[in-house]
Structure 1
């Protein structure tokens, strides 16, 4: 079986490319060309039938990923199913199943059966989890078990994987030489791989046998997302030598993976001050040959726990603006607890709004919905306005809870409605594209 990348290089426009083109209002030729260059990926493992087709990359709408998963403290498969369904209902584009407690095979299969979104994971979680159960020491993980597990999970139908190939002895040495970090290590998979390397005095097998990783991913045409295992967990660690060492390796591996015919993404950092986000994305794009960039957050400050979905939304809007292609949501529970169903709903909504803000800046020619909602608001056409909003249910709930006497206005201004007074002054002067369209507004 050839991958989407290999087929695109032969000039073959696949059904998946056609679907992406239709959904994004682009030509199939454009999508095929960008897939051939490695600038668009389509996570679509053929072992999983009827999953949603999603394109990630250059020229496309910035996508939102939402993550779920059990922990050693909370193991509730029904909760994970409810979260997976909530994530899809709220409009996320992809889902990562990141369980680290309980029967991980059962959780993964149950989640795969409960959604048609493309699903990804981090195989190191189960590799270390199962090894710890068997030997009481995750550092005794057998690399052969890890590679067998990657294939097993791919055969189950996972369409993308975050695999920590870029951690190596050189990046660990940078960590030591810089005096460790303010925020420590925050990636579970990355930290346990560093621990394994230190305990066994060996190189990362995912880095040493990168061609083997790519061969497995190609077999199932899954997207290899090069994990950000040494990402910064504090803005004071942003772009330190250890993080940059891993980023350089990941960008180089992205190029090597594409040469092998494997679809590739690069993962980006967690905590980044606002003034560094543009530079971070520029570096990834330049060093990787414009590989799709999957950004975790980012969080531009460290003191927002409880509201870190808002903190991350600010970072996400800027990341989308400057060229990030896939943003992993943050929920209100970040840094505090395992998210519940309400947390994941709020996380998806806030992140969707954030990436839309970024896309409004990134694609100035795609702002017509903003114009139409403004016209509806100006004209006090409340039903039309509601249809155009991203979250009409929330808007309706607020409006109905505080209904005005005059249905044309709202209780913010009442008789002093600026929109009503402005229209009374300038209604006869409206012309051009400032004239409201006739008929029903589009959704």
Structure 2
């Protein structure tokens, strides 16, 4: 039997090679995975033209995945630096990279990225429209926007953020509600401006069936963008955000009817006590589609440390049902991140994802934690560095202030609790003073 998308195959009872790979990675029976893909509760974003991809699943019962944002901008046109960021992302095992390039002919960078990346690649066609089409925003037609979507699909992009939920009804609700931060989504703000300047409906909403047909042809997963996500704590869980979420639930079912895989995007900035309820509400309104969240950032006053505010929110979100975390770097709200910022953002997001997987009790989630405990109990430093997620950094810290006592660190020396207990249990004495 022929099929166009992973979802179509799953509905027909076909187990694809991508499903087999994902099931093995996730310690899940492949038939169970197929059923989840058929229902839309798991997405396997894998464009038919992305040949270097190592497929990953996102959704119910699977490990929490993370995404890294990078790309070429007008203020930073250094392709070599962006590819250094890609190398760091792949080194630390990120599952997805979003190319948010918005300057010049971005397809040169994107094609090279897709060719080399084992991680899935995402884009926001709206970002690229102005540079790709070389037109002012007001002069872009709905058909122009569709051309950019198809161009990205042909290049091998695995998932695309499409802000289809900010229709005229949602815009009216947003304007009526009033907000401290208004619209902070870049793609959402551009669509809002286009709609206001032209007087037309959101082209991605009006021509949604055409968008889905393009995505189905190449098996591109649609990531339904949250144009009205909150950009500060005060705007979280307001009518604009929830109203758009209701629209995204409707658009999710329309995509599934066309066998197009779906992810739904979520907040944003949000106080800790609101996160769990938002995750459950999204799953309810969007029919258990995979949920992709930015943060949430749990406070607004720590620029320079927003990788931490995001990791706190991300851990709570993923433990409460979110499936996919978009990393945030220390440079968030301040500037384009450099290579060091990218690494810090990845580590923070990986901590959040891993902590959530442990909390959710996923199979084998604690395996490495148990190995680390065993290595520490033995005071086996080499094994600790081997098990550590960033073993190089752990080794650098340890060796920067070497202990006088071999089987300890410079924090406790001979007073190391592990050393003391081991010696007593071995029938030895504990001597703390030099003779």
| TM-score category (smaller protein) | over 0.9
Partner residue, 2:62: 60
State how far apart, in whole Å, the 2-side matches of 1:73 and 1:385 are. 41
> SS at 2:368's partner residue?
helix
Normalising to structure 2: TM-score of the pair? 0.94
* Correspondences of 1:380-399 after superposition (within 5 Å): 380-399=379-398
Q: Is residue 294 of structure 2 the alignment partner of residue 296 of structure 1?
A: yes
State how far apart, in whole Å, the 2-side matches of 1:340 and 1:139 are. 33
Partner residue, 1:435: none
Match of 1:212 among 210, 213, 219: 210
* Correspondences of 1:91-110 after superposition (within 5 Å): 91-110=93-112
Alpha-carbon contact 2:66-2:350 (below 8 Å) kept = yes
> SS at 1:350's partner residue?
helix
Q: Cα deviation per residue 1:121-177 (whole Å; 9 max; x = unaligned)?
A: 00011113345x43xx31221110111111111000001000011111111111111
Partner residue, 2:18: 16
> SS at 1:108's partner residue?
helix
* Correspondences of 1:306-345 after superposition (within 5 Å): 306-345=304-343
Seen in structure 2, the aligned counterparts of structure 1 residues 257 and 364 have a Cα distance that, compared at 3 Å, is closer
> SS at 2:66's partner residue?
strand
* Correspondences of 1:20-419 after superposition (within 5 Å): 20-131=22-133, 133-134=134-135, 137-179=136-178, 181-363=179-361, 366-419=365-418
State how far apart, in whole Å, the 1-side matches of 2:240 and 2:426 are. 61
Q: CA deviation at 1:323?
A: 1.3
State how far apart, in whole Å, the 2-side matches of 1:274 and 1:75 are. 37
Alpha-carbon contact 1:75-1:102 (below 8 Å) kept = no
Alpha-carbon contact 1:129-1:138 (below 8 Å) kept = no
Q: Cα deviation per residue 1:260-309 (whole Å; 9 max; x = unaligned)?
A: 21101100111111111111110111111110001111111111110111
State how far apart, in whole Å, the 1-side matches of 2:172 and 2:46 are. 37
Partner residue, 1:439: none
Partner residue, 1:432: none
State how far apart, in whole Å, the 1-side matches of 2:12 and 2:357 are. 31
Q: CA deviation at 1:228?
A: 1.1
Normalising to structure 1: TM-score of the pair? 0.93
Q: CA deviation at 1:426?
A: 4.3
Q: Cα deviation per residue 1:288-341 (whole Å; 9 max; x = unaligned)?
A: 111000111111111111011111111111111111111000011100001111
Number of residues of Structure 1 aligned to a counterpart in Structure 2: 424
> SS at 2:409's partner residue?
coil
CA RMSD of aligned residues (A): 1.5
Alpha-carbon contact 2:292-2:325 (below 8 Å) kept = yes
